[in-house]
Structure 1
Amino acid sequence: MSAKRRVAVAVGAPVGPLLAVSLPASSASAHGWVTLPTSPQEQCAEGIVACGQITYEPRSVERPKGLRDCGGGHAQYAELDGDGKPWRVTPVGTSATFTWHHTARHATSDRQYFIGGRKIAEFDGHSQQPGADVSQQGDFAGFTGRQKVLAVWSISDTAHALYSCVGGTGGGGGGGGGTTCTAAAWETVRVYDGSDTVSYGGHTWRAKWWVTGDRPGTTGQWGVREDLGACPA
């Protein structure tokens, strides 16, 4: 997937809704969501934060194209639009990887990323079917502090798109915030050998043996990765 336009992006905690519409829950057909950096949808699905219906439907935030909010006016997804829950944020350095996980691989028109309603990056999907996971690199140079990215996956053959907000802090220079993780960001579909290191959630993780797909921090003390600690600020 090639980039039509690519500029600096940052991530941050979800805030109040920018736009809300009414859309029946039955219109959601289960497609995909952002798993990295860890989105509120992912945190709900993983049980990191106690949520309602979205816990079971992280993939189903499907709405008409052109919206700019996280929950789309669904009563059961409204919590995604607020800051009343202890959403975790992801510290990043000057770049980070956005990874979408798909449960239905629809032909893609494009993927767009927004901060405060302003489009800051776009990747052309060429109306092709994506893989099970798609990762796109974002440049954070010049962004610091808590921001918010709204990620939008537009489907080619319908009037709908899938929406996912991402929370974190940017550390792209010019002030506080962020970390200096030196290991590359964890990628869902990459194969890692024992001793390979990755960065995820502001920590560095080392594989204990061959591994692919297992998200750092989700397999417990005896899991496949060792937590080497937080990246320095």
Structure 2
Amino acid sequence: MPPDQLFPRERRVLAPGAVHVPDWLDLDAQRALVAACREWAGDGPGIRAARMPNGGVMTVRSFCLGWHWYPYRYSRTRDDQDGSPVLPFPEWLGDLGRAAVADAYDDPARGAAYRPDIALVNHYSGDARMGQHQDKDERSREPVVSLSIGAPCVFRFGNTEHRGRPWTDVELRSGDLVVFGDASRLAFHGVPRLLPDDGPDTGLAGGRLNVTLRVSGFDPAAPAPSRPADA
């Protein structure tokens, strides 16, 4: 706990179906996830900053497991890199997602039924940020599980209609969990800035690691659908 945090932070409902659970991952679990991400990020073409259709380059660097995301679609191969197969989604990460959904919604049965098959991992450093966006490239509307490790950030959770207000700004710290589904599954959200890193030693060299788990809803034997760039 940071020295200026005198009292435990309480879980918070950000919107219907969206829950913030502070300090959900203990330090050992954070370190294990950092070590795993470091290994995954070094595979093949490695971690990259995705290029948008307009030519702009994202300020966060990312890699994927299960299905490879690039704007605005998924593929089984890293098509915006060297075309190599994406790394498989590990079962133990699915177990972590099931525990997260069960705890966030206080519903063990719902957690047990959660079957994520995508991990999208983003690394933020320096002035990296993420603009307001919806996670809607998946066919499934099962909840998104978001885990934070490393530097704290401002997480902006908005509405489902547009990128503007109303929104809620939340400080996410290392070990925090956010789950959003149901009425908030398509809420706009983003990270306008990182905050000074005063957290524990997680083994991360610097910046913030964000691991998000999703259910694709795709047929593994069929090509994943794409959506228009302006959708």
What is the TM-score of this pair, normalised by structure 2? 0.32
The structure where helix makes up a greater share of residues is 2
The structure where strand makes up a greater share of residues is 1
Q: Using CA pairs below 8 Å that are at least 6 residues apart, which structure has the higher relative contact order?
A: 2
